[in-house]
Amino acid sequence: RRARPVREVLFFPSRPCCIEALLAEAAEPGAPARPCPCPLPSGDTALSRLVRRLLSARRSLDLCLFSFSCPQLARAVQLLHRRGVRVRLVTDAQYMGLHGSQIGRLRHAGIQVRHDQHSGYMHHKFAIVDRRTLITGSLNWTTQAIQSNRENVLVVEDAEYVKAFQDEFERIWEEYNPANYSFF
Amino acid sequence: RRARPVREVLFFPSRPCCIEALLAEAAEPGAPARPCPCPLPSGDTALSRLVRRLLSARRSLDLCLFSFSCPQLARAVQLLHRRGVRVRLVTDAQYMGLHGSQIGRLRHAGIQVRHDQHSGYMHHKFAIVDRRTLITGSLNWTTQAIQSNRENVLVVEDAEYVKAFQDEFERIWEEYNPANYSFF
């Protein structure tokens, strides 16, 4: 589909930006744009690029995220789920219940979520779009990290890297299967 | 020097391992191996691979690390500094003073360290070896992360990715120059 594999680096903090137009276009492609009343610009930022990459999913989105509390990213993920993309989400048990976590909301929307039951952290922060595009780095999916921290995110379409992360995702997904809970 | 650029992914937790032989060989190449009395195996682990990559530095090592408290990795970095490799280290102001941090020890050894003076975190976790090999991921350089967490580290020799991170390092290095401190 694409001539050259994507190879991109996003650095944060990102300038605050409005992603309503991106979400609206993804929800209803081709619909007339309705201007958003919020005062934020809708320019090209690290956040808008990250959202665009996620919204490009057509078949699957595998998420392996230590901390997920950014409402904008949660809306993008919910939108993909509603659109029929198979979303699977692995997260950290200690962080999923913290104030502002979006995990409950995503579960409520019907998205499959699994978590560890160990004392160590599930500290990955990666996403795989359509088993082809790896999005990984230092960035937790929190508004604080996006707007305030120095962070990096790589976008990688190299098959070797993608396979390594996809295999790790499948290992974790199986290991965290609730059927295996020991309730110790 | 190498036919094919390195492309590796390390997943953690790493089995505990002894890296004395690696450090001894790097300190005094070709010297007769002295067996370490510790009970740990010295096998091929994610940690030993990470240490090997670092010890391959000949000219420069640029470190941009949110948290650095692993004594083994600190010893590897000190060894490179003693060997004449130009080591520069950027870290997070809030985390550099925490219990177990190796930053003081590295400064004491004469390694240049700079840190932010913001409330946001300097949350990167990357290293660049000889301006050619990028080592980046979710892993903070702490023993807890190495031994207990689910983490990833990519080793990348793709010039595009390396340049993006090298430029980010130079930007941060300049921005955190103590000459620019405002002491607000």
* A130 catalytic per annotation: yes
List b or e across A78-115, with b for residues whose CB sees 16 or more CB atoms inside 10 angstroms.
bbbbeeebebbbbbbebbbeeeebbbeebeeeebebbb
Q: What is the pTM of this model?
A: 0.95
Tell if the CB–CB gap between A9 and B172 is shorter than 8 Å. Answer: no
CB atoms within 10 A of CB B40: 13
Tell if the CB–CB gap between A152 and B13 is shorter than 8 Å. Answer: no
Sheet-wide strand order for B133-137: B7-12, B151-156, B133-137, B125-129, B60-65, B86-91, B112-115
With contacts defined as CB-CB under 8 Å, which chain A residues touch B159? none
Please give the Cα distance from A102 to A141 (Å, whole number).
10
The single residue listed with the structure tokens 């001894």 is B24
With contacts defined as CB-CB under 8 Å, which chain A residues touch B160? 7
pLDDT of residue A3: 65
Q: Does A163 touch chain B (CB under 8 A)?
A: no
H-helix or E-strand containing A52?
helix A46-55
pLDDT of residue A66: 97
pLDDT of residue A97: 80
Tell if the CB–CB gap between B13 and A120 is shorter than 8 Å. Answer: yes
With contacts defined as CB-CB under 8 Å, which chain A residues touch B137? 136-138
Q: What is the pLDDT along chain A (184 residues), one digit of tens a residue?
A: 556 899 999 999 999 899 999 999 999 988 887 888 899 988 899 999 999 999 999 999 999 999 999 999 999 999 999 999 999 999 999 888 888 999 999 999 999 999 998 889 999 999 999 999 999 999 999 999 999 999 999 999 999 999 999 999 999 999 999 988 776 5
With contacts defined as CB-CB under 8 Å, which chain B residues touch A118? 148
Q: Is the peptide bond before B13 cis (omega within 30 degrees of 0)?
A: yes
H-helix or E-strand containing A163?
helix A159-175
Name the phi and psi angles at A94, rounded to 5.
-70, -30
Catalogue the E-assigned strands of A66-164.
86-91, 112-115, 125-129, 133-137, 151-156
Tell which residue, A138, A79, A143, has the closest CA to residue A105: A79
pLDDT means over runs of 10, chain B (184 residues)? 83 94 92 86 93 98 97 97 97 88 96 91 98 98 96 97 98 93 67
User: Which 8-state DSSP code applies to residue A156?
Assistant: E
Q: Which of residues 74-103 of A touch B (CB under 8 A)?
A: none
Tell if the CB–CB gap between A151 and B11 is shorter than 8 Å. Answer: no
Chain B interface test: which of A136, A152, A157 (most B C-beta within 10 Å): A152
Given its phi and psi angles, is residue A174 left (phi above 0), alpha (psi -120 to 50 degrees) or beta?
alpha
Give me A136's structure tokens: 């990984």
Name the phi and psi angles at A134, rounded to 5.
-95, 130
The residue type found at B100 is G
Q: Choose, from B81, B115, B124, B125, the residue flagged as catalytic.
A: B125
Q: Choose, from B44, B123, B158, B163, the residue flagged as catalytic.
A: B123
pLDDT of residue A35: 83
Please give the Cα distance from A125 to A138 (Å, whole number).
7
Q: How far is A1 from chain B (nearest CA, A)?
A: 22
A8 CB-side CA count, 13 A: 14
pLDDT of residue A9: 98
Tell if the CB–CB gap between B124 and A161 is shorter than 8 Å. Answer: no
Catalogue the E-assigned strands of chain B.
7-12, 60-65, 86-91, 112-115, 125-129, 133-137, 151-156
Q: Does B68 touch chain A (CB under 8 A)?
A: no
Q: Is the dihedral of CA B165, B166, B169, B175 positive or negative?
A: negative
Cα B153 to chain centroid distance, Å, stands at: 11
Give me B180's structure tokens: 């620019």
CB distance A112 to A139 below 8 Å: no
pLDDT of residue B34: 81
Q: How far is B25 from chain A (nearest CA, A)?
A: 30
* B92 catalytic per annotation: no
Tell which residue, A1, A44, A48, has the closest CA to residue A26: A48
What domains sit in chain B, N to C, each tagged with a CATH number?
7-21+59-180 (3.30.870.10)
pLDDT of residue B76: 98
When computed from its CA atoms, the radius of gyration of chain B, rounded to whole angstroms, is 16
Q: Choose, from A81, A115, A124, A125, the residue flagged as catalytic.
A: A125
Q: Is the peptide bond before A13 cis (omega within 30 degrees of 0)?
A: yes
**Interface ipTM:** 0.94
Do the bridges between strand B133-137 and strand B151-156 make them parallel or antiparallel, or are there none, so unpaired? antiparallel
pLDDT of residue A73: 97
The β-bridge partners of B11 are: B152
H-helix or E-strand containing B153?
strand B151-156
Tell if the CB–CB gap between B149 and A122 is shorter than 8 Å. Answer: yes
Q: Which of B120, B126, B150 sits opposite A123 (nearest CB)?
A: B150
Q: Is the peptide bond before B16 cis (omega within 30 degrees of 0)?
A: no
The single residue listed with the structure tokens 């890296």 is B19
- B76-118 tens-digit pLDDT: 999 999 999 999 999 999 888 888 999 999 999 999 999 998 8
pLDDT of residue B183: 63
The single residue listed with the structure tokens 């619909």 is A31
